[in-house]
């Protein structure tokens, strides 16, 4: 591989001078500059970022830790991140925990060993060891989607979003509203969205049958099975159901249709997430658009602020959501 040393020799200057024209700083006469540039061009020399990083302590890479790599949520998030980072000359180093909690700590260390300039963490479950690892990391850091105190977060108001959906149903005249959630360990999607549902119902004294409240996992089948439980076991059949993700909602829709019931006449359905599916499924699904892409934008912004040492007091940034009303209600 061709190095700065060889360029220096060919152009009959010192490595210092070559470095100066490379980085366009320090004085260097037009003459010499031209000579060096010519040699660089001829040789196709590309400086080693690695060597550079070792000296400058900047790598221009951002580590991103994802819970799942191939979901709409993740890919939209990464799109948002990439949009601002690419513009600033940063690349993204991707790691994927596949929902294995220990991997988060492993990757945190790995990213540290690679001297990334900053880290974005998207996670579903916060645990103590993770929080401790983060706090002693000393690298610019932003979490996304889940709140960790004392650390910069980009969040949605999951509680209110869920409440909004229930209130919409209530306004439309639905009274027997069932709920398909996920494990409450996931504070944002599991706990807060459920709390929003529960509170909205409580506020106007709508009763809830036990079996109306189901807990699934993040896939379509799970929505299907949860809906079956609800329909089979309830005394008072619900006339509406809120699912905390679109895929759960779509699974629920499948069951409802299979059971010979109509949406929304017999049972109205709402999901959350504004997945592409929600638009094209039939009937089209009422949902909440959380705009993960914007979360990516904001998170990148916050991280850049930290990296550049400005505005480091800001800890929480909330991203607006949008209720999309479609034919399933």
- Interface with DNA, residue 15, by CB under 7 A: yes
Binding DNA by CB under 7 A: which of 38, 43, 48, 88? 48
Range 90-109, binding a copy of itself (CB under 8 A) = 91-96, 109
Selected binder of DNA within 3, 127, 262, 312 (CB under 7 A): 3
Which residue's entry shows tokens 């991707």? Answer: 94
| Size of site (CB under 7 A) for DNA | 32
Secondary structure (H, E, C), the chain:
CCCHHHHHHHCCCCHHHHHHHHHCCCCCCHHHHHHHHHHHHHHCCCCCHHHHHHHHCCCCEEEEEECCCCCHHHHHHHHHHHHHHHHCCCEEEEEECCCCHHHHHHHHHHHHHCCCCEEEEECCCCCHHHHHHHHCCCCCEEEECCCCCCCEEEECCHHHHHHHHHHHHHHCCCCCEEEEEECCCCHHHHHHHHHHHHHHHHHCCCCCCHHHEEEECCCHHHHHHHHHHHHHHCCCCCCEEEECCHHHHHHHHHHHHHCCCCCCCCCEEECCCCCHHHHHCCCCCEEEECCHHHHHHHHHHHHHHHHCCCCCCCCEEECCCEEECCCCC
112 binds a copy of itself (CB under 8 A): yes
Residue 32 engages DNA in binding (rule: CB under 7 A) = yes
Q: Which does 3 bind (CB under 5 to 8 A by kind): a copy of itself, DNA, none?
A: DNA
How many residues at the interface with a copy of itself, by CB under 8 A?
Answer: 41
Minimum gap (Å) between residue 80 Cβ and DNA: 30
Which of DNA, a copy of itself, none interacts with 13 (beta carbon under 5 to 8 A by kind)? DNA
Among a copy of itself, DNA, none, the one that 232 touches (CB under a kind-dependent 5 to 8 A) is none
Q: Does 262 bind DNA (CB under 7 A)?
A: no
The least distance separating DNA from the CB of residue 13, rounded to whole angstroms, comes to 4
Out of 53, 147, 215, 327, the residue judged to bind a copy of itself by CB under 8 A = 53
Among 75-83, 150-158, 161-169, 303-311, the segment contacting a copy of itself (CB under 8 A): 75-83
In the complex, least distance from residue 105 CB atom to DNA, rounded to whole angstroms: 19
Give min distance, CB of 46 to a copy of itself, in A. Answer: 5
What residue ranges bind DNA (CB under 7 A)?
1, 3-5, 12-20, 22-23, 25-29, 31-33, 45, 47-48, 50-52, 54-56
């Amino acid at each position: 591989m061709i190095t700065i040393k060889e360029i220096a020799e060919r152009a009959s200057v010192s490595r210092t001078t070559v470095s100066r024209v490379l980085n366009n700083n320090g004085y260097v006469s037009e003459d010499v500059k031209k000579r060096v540039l010519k040699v660089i061009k001829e040789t196709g020399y590309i400086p080693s970022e690695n060597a550079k990083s070792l000296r400058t302590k900047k790598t221009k890479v951002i580590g991103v830790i994802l819970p799942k790599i191939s979901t709409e949520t993740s890919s939209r998030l990464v799109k948002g991140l990439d949009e601002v980072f690419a513009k600033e000359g940063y690349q993204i180093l991707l790691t994927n925990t596949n929902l294995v909690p220990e991997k988060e700590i492993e990757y945190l260390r790995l990213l540290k060993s690679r001297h990334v300039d900053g880290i974005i963490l998207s996670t579903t479950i916060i645990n103590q060891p993770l929080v401790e690892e983060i706090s002693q990391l000393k690298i610019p850091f932003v979490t996304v989607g889940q709140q960790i105190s004392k650390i910069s977060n980009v969040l949605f108001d999951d509680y209110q979003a869920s409440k909004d959906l229930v209130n919409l149903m209530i306004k439309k005249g639905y009274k027997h509203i069932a709920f398909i959630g996920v494990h409450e360990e996931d504070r944002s999607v599991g706990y807060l969205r459920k709390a929003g549902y529960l509170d909205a119902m409580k506020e106007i004294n709508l009763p809830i049958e036990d079996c109306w409240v189901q807990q699934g996992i993040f896939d379509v089948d799970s929505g299907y099975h949860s809906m079956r439980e609800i329909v089979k076991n309830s005394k008072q059949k619900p006339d509406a159901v809120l699912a905390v993700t679109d895929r759960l909602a779509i699974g629920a829709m499948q069951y409802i249709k299979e059971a010979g019931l109509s949406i929304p006449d017999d049972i109205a359905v709402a999901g959350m997430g504004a997945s592409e599916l929600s638009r094209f499924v039939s009937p089209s699904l009422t949902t909440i658009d959380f705009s993960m892409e914007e979360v990516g934008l904001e998170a990148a912004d916050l991280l850049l602020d930290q990296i550049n040492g400005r505005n480091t007091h800001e800890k929480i940034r909330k991203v607006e959501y949008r209720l999309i009303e479609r034919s399933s209600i």
